[in-house]
Amino acid sequence: MKFFIEVFTSLDMDIEIMLFLSSLVAFFILKSLRKTHIEARGKNMRFPGAPCNAKVYTACDSNIKSPENQDAQNVQYAQIDKALCVAFDNEDYEQVLKCWNALKRYNQCPATHLLQVVKAMQLCSKGAHFIVMELRAFVKAHPQSVNIGLINDILEPLARRLDDDAQLVDLIVRMLPSINVVKDIRTYEILLAMHVARKSYGKAQEIITEMRSMNVEFTPCALVAVLTIALQLGNFEVVLKAFAELKPAWEIRSTWAVSPFALQRHKSNMLWQIVELACEKRKLHKLLPALVDISLPSEVATTIQGKCASWSDIELSTMIKLLCTSDPTPHMTSLKDMLSNCLGCRSKASKAQLEAASDASTSEGSRSDSEDDISSCDGFRAHGVRAPPGLPPPLGF
């Protein structure tokens, strides 16, 4: 250490200036060599399906305006674009990102590849913040190519997966104001369905509050999400309101985000949950008028009939009268017939009980008369007198 100190202290000012100038010259030489190496690497870049003599035009070639070079750029662009699609189909996601980096050098970089690139970055273990930075850079370079429809196409597959993609969805949504993109009905629908599926009740309530404050219309899919979260929280008033608004779209296939094979089972299960919640809250009488237009599965109808059996005759008669005032539909008629049968069965049971009680009193009276007759015959026998005709003989006669 002392040796180096002595060496530097022995140097005079001229030598120090010479060393500084030499270092500066070496820096510029290395920088120029690095630039040449990058250009040569870009010119020699190859992609699957590209000819051997194909050349990739870098950003340094953007000042070339001749038609021949422009045609060559278009040909090279088409080759790289095709290579990206082939790599994605072959699940070569590293190659997808390489092709994407090459496409970004062109002004006509397509926004349709963003969905593929986002998936490739996720599968290549790129973080959520890195992906958002890439999206922001693309929006900054091509602002005319980005709209809320494209953002929704990116958000929808991410929101359906119940893993760490929720962080990426939140970051993309927070980015929207900075890129001058406004959420639409579909965006709210995607976010609401995601939070309900993840049982994030607080965030779901924030989305519902924002939709109401912005006067955003609730789509059928959004109503299904509201109905689901209300059932999970046991809020019957919200369930009844959401169910009443959902009824016009109840039989429409696009309302339900489930497979066709599980559709009927899913709808039956939801109806059963609604009926069970109404019975638990003792508000089945409020729910029945809303069921007049719905086809009830057998298990749901059995549950309703079992719960209505505990009603009084006045309550059943009032509900039947209320259903009669509604527009006649096949489902309403079946519901009314079910309540009428319940009331009729109860009347038959009451009548049977009355008849049984009357028979019991009659048999009791007959038995008492028989006992009186027997006692009279015993009296005649004790005095040696034959019983008058019409009376049965005493026991042991």
Lowest average pLDDT, out of 33-42, 243-252, 259-268, goes to 33-42
pLDDT tens figures, 95-108:
999 999 888 888 77
Supply the pLDDT for residue 342.
Answer: 58
Site of tokens 């120090």: 16
Residue 56 lies in a domain: yes
Q: Is the pLDDT assigned to residue 217 strictly greater than 60?
A: yes
Supply the pLDDT for residue 7.
Answer: 55
Q: Is the pLDDT assigned to residue 44 strictly greater than 50?
A: no
Q: Are 68 and 45 in contact (CB under 8 A)?
A: no
Supply 250's token pair: 């109840």
Supply 61's token pair: 């070639």
Q: Count of domains in the chain?
A: 1
pLDDT tens figures, 121-180:
989 988 899 999 999 988 888 888 888 999 999 999 998 886 667 889 999 999 999 988
Supply the pLDDT for residue 8.
Answer: 54
Q: Is the pLDDT assigned to residue 369 strictly greater than 70?
A: no
What is 105-168 written as a DSSP string?
A: TSTT--GGGHHHHHHHHHHTT--HHHHHHHHHHHHHH-GGG--HHHHHHHHHHHHHS-STHHHH
CA–CA separation, 289 vs 326, rounded Å? 8
Mean pLDDT of the 251-267 span? 88
What is 3-65 written as a DSSP string?
A: HHHHHHHH--HHHHHHHHHHHHHHHHHHHHHHHHHHHHHHHT---TT--TT-----GGGTT--
CA–CA separation, 62 vs 73, rounded Å? 10
With a CB cutoff of 8 Å and minimum separation 6, the contacts of 166 are: 159, 194, 198
Residue 46 lies in a domain: yes
Residue 163 lies in a domain: no
Supply the pLDDT for residue 230.
Answer: 92
Site of tokens 């609730």: 218
Inter-CA distances, 64 with 60, 71, 231, 255, 291, Å = 9, 11, 64, 53, 71
Supply 361's token pair: 């009193």
Q: Phi/psi zone of residue 384: left (φ > 0), alpha (ψ -120 to 50 degrees), beta?
A: left
Q: Which residue from 45, 124, 48, 46 is spatially nearest to 86, judged by alpha carbons? A: 48
Domain that holds residue 56: 38-109
Lowest average pLDDT, out of 25-29, 136-140, 223-227, goes to 25-29
Banded pLDDT at 354 (limits 50, 70, 90): very low
Residue 183 lies in a domain: no
Residue 149 lies in a domain: no
pLDDT tens figures, 62-109:
443 444 577 788 888 889 889 999 999 999 999 999 999 888 888 777
Banded pLDDT at 6 (limits 50, 70, 90): low
Residue 188 lies in a domain: no
Classify residue 275 as exposed, middle or buried by CB count within 10 Å of its CB (0-12, 13-18, 19+): buried
CA–CA separation, 166 vs 159, rounded Å? 7
Residue 232 lies in a domain: no
Residue 100 lies in a domain: yes
CA–CA separation, 370 vs 390, rounded Å? 12
CA–CA separation, 67 vs 73, rounded Å? 10
With a CB cutoff of 8 Å and minimum separation 6, the contacts of 153 are: 115
Q: What is the pTM of this model?
A: 0.64
Question: What rounded mean pLDDT belongs to the chain?
Answer: 74
**For 65-74, b where at least 16 C-beta lie within 10 A, e where not — what string?**
eeeeeeebbe
